[in-house]
Amino acid sequence: MKILITGGCGFVGSNLAILFKQYYTHSEVYCLDNLSRRGSEINLQKVIAAGGQFIHGDVRVKTDFDRIPAVDIVIDAAAEPSVLAGKVPGELENLIDTNLNGTINTLYFVKKNQAAIIFLSTSRVYPYNTLAKANLVALPKRFNLSNEQSLIGLSQQGVSENYPLEGLRSLYGATKLASEYFIQEFSYNFGLPAVINRCGVLSGPYQMGKIDQGVIVLWMAKHLWKGQLGYIGYGGLGQQARDVLHVRDLFRLIQWQIANLGLQNCQIFNVGGGLENTVSLAELTDLCIQITGNTIAMGSSLENRSGDLPIYITNNKKINHFCNWQPEIKIDQLLVEIFDWLKKDENKLRAILA
Ligand SMILES: NC(=O)c1ccc[n+]([C@@H]2O[C@H](COP(=O)([O-])OP(=O)(O)OC[C@H]3O[C@@H](n4cnc5c(N)ncnc54)[C@H](O)[C@@H]3O)[C@@H](O)[C@H]2O)c1
């Protein structure tokens, strides 16, 4: 098996590359990355140590794909993944060029090789202005989704694939949804096997968490190295909640998807930790205190951040129906793994994450 992972030195890309080399020792894994994400150069060392092959390149540059050998599978994991991206001058072009034009360049390469593509899309394709109207139950430390919902595709179990797409979804979400449309057209018109995974929050070691992306690692790093954090919006109590999926559970799903490409036929799946692996910020704080032994200053602001949501939970029912896949790694185990990684690589990571 020959695999190209774009963004192969990012959080998801590097984890997948290393796991592919572990599970399929004879596979050839090429990681294309422009190393623009701070910390991706640290992940690069791990990818190389695992036997992955690095190609320093940019998905925005179509000719950079000419340097990549023929492959069977392409995993599109190169992105500007921040939901806040695009508003700062200069960022907008990079967001659209990387996330949309970069995916189209990737599709030309997929077509040239008659390869399959697995696309890491996002829950952010679902509009925030309608999701913000979900009925909530407010507990002291978290919001839950009520069992009474009037919106199609929304239940206590979370958001399903039939949730209506009309509305605003952020510039980031728009680039990913537009990419999905091109992937479907390329798949249909050129007979390319494709799978689209709309992922909720993903986490695990090698995630270079920052304020606008990678909140789970950011929370743990700030506790470990005694920084400052704050609860933003929704009353400032940290009740906002997300489901979280360990990247190794994502890998197990991708293993099945690669082995069963013919069954999926360019399907779209919501993929996430699900209701059982949902955590609020206040609960995350408690878990980080337990694991690190450190309590830190926690700020609070009442004003909601534009495009933010009080809660998002992935409903995994469709993918469960296809393959019985279930997330196996619970949040407390995920946090311990992140803690262990931060401690082990403290010398390199502290300057980036603290
Ligand atoms: N992390 C999550 O919670 C999450 C959730 C849903 C979807 N996703 C999707 O998963 C994918 C991977 O996300 P991640 O969390 O690993 O992000 P990441 O930022 O850790 O990794 C992305 C990698 O892409 C590289 N990159 C950026 N622009 C590039 C360009 N123009 N050319 C080549 N490489 C470039 C970066 O250097 C980085 O190494 C993205 O498509 C993201 O939208 C992530």
Ligand 1 center from residue 81 Cα (angstroms): 5
Three-state DSSP class for residue 233: coil
pLDDT in tens, 256-268: 999 999 998 899 9
Per-residue pLDDT, 111: 98
Q: What percent of the chain has pLDDT over 70?
A: 100
d(CA 63, CA 269): 31
pLDDT in tens, 156-196: 999 999 999 999 999 999 999 999 999 999 999 999 999 99
The CB of 106 under 6 Å from ligand 1? The reply is no
Pocket test for ligand 1, best of 31, 32, 36 (most atoms within 8 A of CB): 36
pLDDT, averaged across the chain: 97
pLDDT given for residue 89 in this prediction: 77
Q: Distance, CA 220 to ligand 1 centroid (Å)?
A: 20
Is 267 within 8 Å of 322 (Cβ atoms)? Answer: yes
The predicted model gives 283-302 an average pLDDT of 97
Per-residue pLDDT, averaged over 12-29, amounts to: 97
77 lines ligand 1 (CB under 6 A): yes
Q: How confident is the model at residue 294 (pLDDT cuts 50, 70, 90)?
A: very high
Give yes or no for residue 215 CB within 6 A of ligand 1: no
Q: Are 310 and 268 within 8 A, CB to CB?
A: no
For a ligand 1 pocket test, name from 14, 171, 202 the mutation site with the most ligand atoms within 8 angstroms of its C-beta: 202
Looking at residues 299-319, what average pLDDT do you find? 95
Q: Say what the pTM is.
A: 0.98
Residue 4 Cβ < 6 Å to ligand 1? no
Task: Tell which atom from ligand 1 comes closest to the C-alpha of 37.
Answer: 37
Question: What is the reported pLDDT for 87?
Answer: 84
Whether the Cβ atoms of residue 317 and residue 160 lie closer than 8 Å to each other: yes
Q: Any residues with CB less than 8 A from the CB of 45 and at least 6 apart, and which?
A: none
The mean pLDDT of 52-80, rounded to a whole number, is: 98
Hey, is 252 helix, strand or coil?
helix
How close is the Cα of 147 to the center of ligand 1, in Å? 34
**Residue 47 Cβ < 6 Å to ligand 1:** no
Mean pLDDT of 299-311: 93
* Predicted local distance difference test score (pLDDT) of residue 328: 98
Residue 3 confidence (pLDDT): 98
Instruction: Evaluate: CB of 98 within 6 angstroms of ligand 1.
Output: yes
Q: How far out from the chain centre does Cα 79 lie?
A: 10
**Is 35 touching ligand 1 by the criterion CB < 6 Å?**
yes
Q: Residues 81-123: pLDDT tens digits?
A: 999 898 877 899 999 999 999 999 999 999 999 999 999 999 9
Give percent helix, percent strand, percent coil of the chain, each to the nearest 5.
45, 20, 35
Q: Is any ligand 1 atom within 6 A of the Cβ of residue 58? A: yes
- Both structure tokens of 108: 């030309």
| pLDDT given for residue 306 in this prediction | 87
